[in-house]
Amino acid sequence: MASHRRPKQPSRSRVTALTAFAAAAVALSSQSAMAAPEKPNKDEVKAKVDALYGEAEQATEKFDGAKDRQDKLEKEIAQLQDQVARGQLELNDMRNTLGSMASAQYRTGGIDQSLTLLLSDDPQSYLDKASTFQQLSAKQIETIGRIQAKQRFLAQQRQEAAGKLADLDATRKELGEQKKAAQDKLAQAQAQLNSLTADERAQLSSQDASSSRASRSASGGGGAAKGSGRAGAALAAAASVEGATYHMGDTGPNSFDCSGLTQWAYAQAGVSISRTTYTQANEGTRIGRSELQPGDLVFFYGDLHHVGLYAGNGQVLHASHPAPNGGVKYEPMDDMPFQFGVRI
């Protein structure tokens, strides 16, 4: 008769070993399917860094615009507040004059009841009705009219100041957002550079320095002698700070961003231009590449977020970026998508 014994169960240690083997097989399969991408080479990193610097500069120009608006609003608000304070003093003098009239009237035979109300704690409701007071003197009526006009003008100024304060709050918020956006992009760019080896970073730095020297030589050593008038003076000023560092929002004399350099350079030539690339693009006459002369403003990228000074022979002198060998330097215009020039 056949045996019906139960088959022998695998031991606990055998089950554990089989489970571990299966898990390892799954893990190896997953790792094979999701293999880590190869580390980008230095040229790929440079391309990513350049793109991030471009995005940082877009935010920087918006930051510059917000900062410029903030500065103007603060000045306008201060002027309005000063005007309101002086207007309030004038209003108080008018009221004091009206009070003196009332005192004189009282000494000479009593004060009109309507004028008494005008000088009470709440005279405004009576000021609006002053033209109907038949017993007031012509001079009193004239003073009351001036008080009413001054009150209306002060109310308008206070309302204007309140509106500008609201604009200032919104501008400050935008300023913070754009500053953070630029700083984030710069931090990402630095992280990309940090992913390279020391030798790779040195190679990139050497390439940048060599390119800048070649560009400077191609421009004729600064192009200042070739420039004329205020454009030539602006180019000479920019050439005098070659090597200055790039820093978001700065307008010199030791560090600059791109539009900060062009604004500063033209200021040294006695010409005042606006703060950002977007507004500098409309400062003068737009010209094509074949018309460029040393010192003309040259704009790059479709959204015009970068500007420099034409240095001659197809070269630009500009505040480029904060990386090693960045800052104020010469570079071939062909390294960036040229849009147009502007003659100031």
The catalytic site residues sit at 258, 306, 318
In terms of C-beta density within 10 A (0-12 exposed, 13-18 middle, 19 or more buried), how is residue 302 classed? Answer: exposed
Distance CA 28, CA 34 (A): 10
Contact 317, 309 (CB under 8 A): yes
Distance CA 117, CA 94 (A): 16
Angle between helices 138-194 and 42-107 (to 10 degrees): 170
How many CB atoms within 10 Å of residue 46? Answer: 20
Contact 158, 84 (CB under 8 A): yes
* Alpha helix ranges (H) inside 195-228: 198-218
Distance CA 117, CA 28 (A): 95
- Give 189's Cβ-side CA count (13 Å radius): 21
* Cα torsion 122, 124, 127, 132: sign: negative
